[in-house]
């Protein structure tokens, strides 16, 4: 039977199965439909001319821009959802509001190796390079005052919506703060007004005490299955100390972040049979008057089930593996890197 | 290039592709993985003993309960997300709130014919019977004062999350009003306070004038692709006159609703190659002090694309076929029933 749980940030209620019939990793059907695109891949080294010119890269030996011999490379999306030129112009159409689609949409190519598709299998130092370019582009795009939010996210595998096989993340700069971020900020602020504490700091503390939902932990970060997930085996990575700035991590913390990201993704891969996943980084908005204080974090959503009519109509989620059971499966994975 | 559109109800922003490279029906890959479960189906006539005892049915010739010879049949879900016994007990676990999972979860078997899987292919009179049982169970479950919301929804096809092939809908009675319904009610109320009009009535009027997003229309209902969708080819069915009560439709309006639901689902099936879809009925809450005035309606979400990291992190959606283009494709389908 299930338990109804309410998350303390935005008030989402979720059904969580808590009895012994709870689903185990083998009960989920992992869709495997990886198309081999190596022959036609435009993100591989040597195909630099087939992408728009790069906006940033980590390169070996100072090799020139748009040549091969890069480690990580960021290029504008060839088919962007938003256009970078122009000013934001809002207007109405009867009862509806609209504006032109100003923004930026970039693709971060995570590795030159086409066959190294999952970040879980990267060396820690290569993930460090990916994180450094996330930060570089976040800082770079935030200089454009038209942009109010820089969203970094990754879709791995077809079930997670990836249409390109070569390992990549995406960066979208938006002209307004997105709804879910506004809700999280509002929840953060309400909790702070009421209790005088950060809700994410309180989560770190409670998870650290209860321990049963912890997936991995190191000096600076904790990874756990949140008490009120939307997906089975959902994992969050939080800085253990309150921190609003993902973009300005110390070199040590960048190392620790790369390690815990690898460990969490590796545990998901090994426990669940290499499922598709999404992750995104929630940070504070930029260039606007809103709250600048936030507790940045990463939310990872393995794609094991389908969101269906009930979830679409209500915003409730039905979770067949409780976070504590999920975390115990993830902890069982042998991880020695 | 895309346009940013903001819906007037809950303030969701959506990117809508508006130029000529807009996606057409043939550009979507419709997942086809229908498992034939006929041999082992527990919802077929003759297998009545394999479901929990029925709670309502439309039957031929007064045939006895739980015998074959039914047209539509409602049974409790064998694996319910919620338990019907007990009182709602809320408690805390550190910073988290939780309660026991009180509620009801029923399955409405829409036809005795295992091979008639899509409501789009039903006779109108059979859809009328389905609607009448939706109403019957909504009224029945609302008598239980512990329930605050009765959610009716349908998942058709594997990509829409259906795990059972035999045509069925689901009814879930919830002990609290779900988040998305609260947001829609709040948006409805805010719009009403500001403009003194119902936002859905204003939508019916604007869609009727602009015409380009209309999919189907009859004396009592209009079906259209909403200006701010979450999915390409999303369709909403609204009563043309303001109406809060789905449960108390006249016989004529029930006929008109069955007709427009069939026509809309048939146009989606024919234009898009029988895709999976979800639909749900948004109505006002029951047994609580909240606003009782609402404009009930049906939201239909064809499953043509995957929600990915960007959508999960932001609540923004990227729509590659504008609602006007989608509606024009749906209108082109030959429909003569």
Read off the pLDDT of residues B225-250 as tens digits, 9 standing for 90 and up. Answer: 999 998 899 999 999 999 988 999 99
Work out the percent of chain A whose per-residue pLDDT is above 90: 63
Please report which helix (H) or strand (E) contains residue A219, including its range. Answer: none
Is B33's pLDDT higher than 60? Answer: no
The predicted model gives B25-33 an average pLDDT of 69
Contact A170, B314 (CB under 8 A): no
pLDDT digits (tens, 9 = 90+) for B180-213: 888 999 999 999 998 899 999 999 999 999 999 9
Tens digit of pLDDT for each residue in B83-139?
788 888 888 888 888 888 888 999 999 999 999 999 999 999 999 999 999 999 999
Residue B217 distance to chain A (closest CA, Å): 21
Structural domain including B11 reads 2-79+98-332
pTM of the shown model: 0.91
The verdict on whether B168 is a catalytic residue reads yes
pLDDT (0 to 100) of residue B1 = 63
- CA distance linking residue A154 with residue A117, whole number of Å: 12
Size of interface A-B (CB pairs under 8 A): 215
- Which residues are within 8 A (CB) of A289 and not within 5 positions of it... i.e. 6 or more apart? none
Q: Is residue A205 part of a domain?
A: yes
Residue B306 lies in a domain: yes
A230 neighbourhood in chain B, CB within 8 Å: 312
pLDDT tens-digit series, residues A38-60: 778 999 999 999 999 999 999 99
Tell me, what's the pLDDT at B58?
A: 96
Q: What is the mean pLDDT of residues A164-189?
A: 91
**Contact between B95 and A181 using a beta-carbon 8 Å cutoff:** no
Q: What is the pLDDT, as a whole number, of residue A163?
A: 81
Is B84 within a domain? no
Mean pLDDT score, A214-222: 98
Side-chain half-sphere CA neighbours of A175 within 13 A = 24
- Residue B102 has a pLDDT of 85
Question: What backbone torsions phi and psi does residue A126 show, to the nearest 5 degrees?
Answer: -75, -35
Pick from B190, B83, B216, B217: nearest CA to B147: B83
What's residue B290's pLDDT?
60
B88 found inside a domain: no
In a domain, B87, yes or no: no
pLDDT of residue B6: 79
Distance from CA of B28 to the nearest CA of A (A): 12
Q: Which of A1, A16, A5 is nearest to A231 (CA)?
A: A16
Torsion sign over Cα B211, B212, B218, B224 = negative
Please indicate whether residue B13 or residue A220 has the higher confidence score (pLDDT): A220
**Segment B249-304, tens digit of pLDDT:** 999 999 999 999 999 999 999 999 999 999 999 999 999 876 578 999 999 999 98
User: Which residues on chain B are in Cβ contact (under 8 Å) with A158?
Assistant: 306
**Residue B86, domain member (yes or no):** no
Chain B residues in contact with A178 (beta carbon < 8 A): 13, 313-316
Q: What is the pLDDT of residue B293?
A: 83
Mean pLDDT is lowest, of A5-14, A55-64, A229-238, B316-325, for A5-14
**Cβ(B306)–Cβ(B232) under 8 Å?**
no
Spot the catalytic one: B168, B295, B297, B329.
B168
How many residues can be counted in chain A?
A: 337
For residue A22, pLDDT beyond 80: no
| B-interface mutation test, from A167, A183, A304, A306, most B Cβ less than 10 A away | A306
Which residues does chain B have within 8 Å of residue A308's beta carbon, measured at their own beta carbons? 153, 155, 160-162, 278
Give how far A215 is from chain B: nearest CA, Å: 19
How many Å apart are CA A227 and CA A108, to the nearest integer? 31
User: In this predicted structure, what is the pLDDT of residue A138?
Assistant: 97
**How close, in Å, is residue A173 to chain B by CA atoms?**
11
Determine, yes or no, domain membership for A316.
yes
Which residue in A has a C-alpha nearest to residue B306's C-alpha? Answer: A161
Residue in A closest to B82 by C-alpha: A2
Closest CA to A177 of A87, A68, A50, A291: A291
Average pLDDT over every residue of A217-228: 96
Residues 6+ positions from B62 with CB-CB distance below 8 Å = none
pLDDT for the residue numbered A213: 96
CA atoms within 13 A on the CB side of B273: 11
Residue A21 pLDDT: 64
Q: Check the CA dihedral B120-B126-B128-B129 and report its sign.
A: negative
Measured between CB atoms, which of A1, A81, A203 is closest to B2?
Answer: A81
Weakest-pLDDT range from A63-67, A81-85, A279-283, B101-105: A81-85
Chain A residues near residue B309 by CB distance under 8 angstroms: 153-155, 160-161, 170, 278-280, 301
Residue A74 is predicted with a pLDDT of 97
Kindly report the average pLDDT of chain B as a whole number: 90
Which of A96, A160, A162 is opposite residue B8, by nearest beta carbon? A96
Domain count across chain B = 1
Residue A326 has pLDDT above 90, yes or no: yes
- In this structure, is residue A337 part of a structural domain? no
pLDDT computed for residue A278 by the predictor: 95
- Chain B residue with CA closest to A309: the answer is B278
At A262, the pLDDT band (50, 70, 90 cuts) reads very high
| Residue contact B279–A309, C-beta within 8 A | yes
Using 50, 70 and 90 to split pLDDT, how confident is the model at A12?
Answer: confident
Q: What does the pLDDT read at residue A116?
A: 94
Instruction: For chain A, give percent helix, strand, coil, nearest 5.
Output: 30, 25, 45
C-beta atoms of B161 and A210 within 8 A: no
How many percent of chain A have pLDDT more than 70? 95
Residues of A in contact with B83 (CB under 8 A): 1-2
Among the partner residues A5, A82, A314, nearest to B2 by beta-carbon distance: A82
**A207-214 average pLDDT score:** 96
Where in A84-167 does DSSP place strands (E)?
90-93, 96-100, 104-109, 149-156
The CATH number linked to A204 is 3.30.428.10
- Compare all CA atoms of chain A with the CA of B182 and give the residue at the minimum distance: A314
**Dist. CA A180–CA B316, nearest whole Å:** 8
| pLDDT at residue number B129 | 97
Q: A162: which chain B residues are within 8 Å (Cβ-Cβ)?
A: 308
Say yes or no for a CB contact (<8 Å) between A101 and B2. Answer: yes
Mutation choice for A interface testing from B149, B178, B309, B319 by most A CBs within 10 A:
B309
pLDDT at B22: 67
Determine, for residues B155 and A308 on separate chains, whether the beta-carbon distance falls below 8 Å. yes
- Closest residue, chain B, to A279 (C-alpha): B309
Tell me the three state secondary structure of residue A86: coil
Among B228, B282, B310, beta carbon nearest to A313 = B282
């Amino acid at each position: 039977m299930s338990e109804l749980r309410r998350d303390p940030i935005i008030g989402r209620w979720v059904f969580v199965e808590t009895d012994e019939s709870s689903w185990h990793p083998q009960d989920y059907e992992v869709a495997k439909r990886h198309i081999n695109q190596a022959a036609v891949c435009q993100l591989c080294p040597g195909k630099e001319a087939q992408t728009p010119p790069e906006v940033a890269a980590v390169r070996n030996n100072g090799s020139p821009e748009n040549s091969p011999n890069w480690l990580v490379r960021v290029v504008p999306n060839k088919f962007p959802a938003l256009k970078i030129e122009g000013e934001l112009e809002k207007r109405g159409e009867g009862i509806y509001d609209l504006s032109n689609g100003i923004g930026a949409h970039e693709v971060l190519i995570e590795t030159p190796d086409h066959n190294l598709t999952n970040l879980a299998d990267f060396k820690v130092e290569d993930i460090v390079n990916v994180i450094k370019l996330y930060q570089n582009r976040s800082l770079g795009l935030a200089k454009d005052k038209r942009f109010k939010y820089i969203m970094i996210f990754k879709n791995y595998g077809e079930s997670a919506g990836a249409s390109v096989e070569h390992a990549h993340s995406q960066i979208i700069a938006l002209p307004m703060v997105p709804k879910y971020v506004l809700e999280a900020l509002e929840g953060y602020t309400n909790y702070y007004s009421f209790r005088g504490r950060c809700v994410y700091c309180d989560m770190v503390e409670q998870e650290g005490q209860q321990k049963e939902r912890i997936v991995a932990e190191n000096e600076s970060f904790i990874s756990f299955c949140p008490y009120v997930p939307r997906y089975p085996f959902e994992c969050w990575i939080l800085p253990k100390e309150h921190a609003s700035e993902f973009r300005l991590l110390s070199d040590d913390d960048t190392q620790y972040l790369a390690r815990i990201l690898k460990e969490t993704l590796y545990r998901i891969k090994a426990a669940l049979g290499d499922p598709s996943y999404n992750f995104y980084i929630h940070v504070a908005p930029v260039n606007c008057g809103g709250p600048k204080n936030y507790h940045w974090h990463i939310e990872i959503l393995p794609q094991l089930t389908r969101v269906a009519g009930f979830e679409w109509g209500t915003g409730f989620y039905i979770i067949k593996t409780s976070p504590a059971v999920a975390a115990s499966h993830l902890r069982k994975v042998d991880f020695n890197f």
